[in-house]
Amino acid sequence: MQEPELREPRLHVGLIMDGNGRWATTRGLPRVVGHEAGVGTVRRVARAAPGQGIGTLTLYAFSSDNWRRPAAEVAGLMGLLRLYLAREVEVLRRDGVRLTVIGRRDRLPDGLAEAIAAAEAATRAGTRLHLRIALDYSARDAILAAARAAAPDATREDFARLVTGDGAPEVDLVIRTSGEQRLSDFLLWESAYAELHFTPCAWPDFGEAELAAAMTAFRSRQRRFGGLPAAA
């Protein structure tokens, strides 16, 4: 695939994939059908991301607070993730995508942590896109763990490395689908200066066009990082 010439450093986009349940419910379908449809969106968005100037894409798949959902829905989500790994890893490897998973691994169903480690190992060499999946993830827990591990004289950079775990850069843009306008414990440290984009589009209906629209909106923003805009 021919990639457009990049005129800017590759961006880190965080995606809060929301609205699967409502998408299904409004169609009279069980919520898990919405999650199944959402897996297709993950595929489409991961494919489209490098062409949009995205170098790192962090997808919020399951928050630590999502354990509060009914056991059957949780089992459905975990099953879908297992299936995604089984089916997609070879494609990701071929496409030059490095996959890593952030969040806790000690509470996952049997065998899933091993499947994740295998997927990470198989895709380690990918440089075209770093695809991160946030699973049993809580930004507050990540910050708390970093605080516990950090030396008293740790610099901001040292601390950032501890928080992100895998050296991912700061987040440039957070996109949330399905109309909610909140962060729900996602990448709180890394998003200190992230631009925010909220779209009413439900995650199963999100795709290349919606991603492109979000990126166009992002490029129209003036980022200042506390300073003043460059003189015209």
Catalytic residues: 18, 66
Nearer Cβ to ligand IPE (182/223): 182
Rg (CA), the chain: 18
Shorter beta-carbon distance to ligand IPE: residue 93 or 104:
104
Q: How far is the CB of 50 from Mg ion (least distance, A)?
A: 27
Other CB atoms within 10 A of residue 55 CB? 19
Q: How far is the CB of 194 from ligand IPE (least distance, A)?
A: 16
Q: Which 5-24 residues touch ligand IPE, going by CB under 6 A?
A: 16-22
Of the residues 10, 11, 18, 63, which one makes contact with Mg ion according to CB under 5 A:
18
**In this chain, which residue has its C-beta nearest to ligand IPE?**
21
Calculate the alpha carbon distances from 60 to 38, 152, 232 in Å: 12, 31, 38
Strand order in the sheet with 11-16: 97-102, 129-137, 54-63, 11-16, 173-176, 195-198
> What would the two tokens of residue 219 be?
């490029």
* Alpha-carbon distances of 96 from 1, 61, 72, rounded to whole Å: 12, 21, 34
Binding residue positions: 18-23, 31, 35, 63-65, 67, 69, 176, 182-184, 195
Q: For residue 175, state whether it binds ligand IPE (rule: CB under 6 A).
A: no
Q: Which residues bind to ligand IPE, rule: CB under 6 A? A: 16-22, 60-63, 66, 77, 178, 180, 182, 184, 203
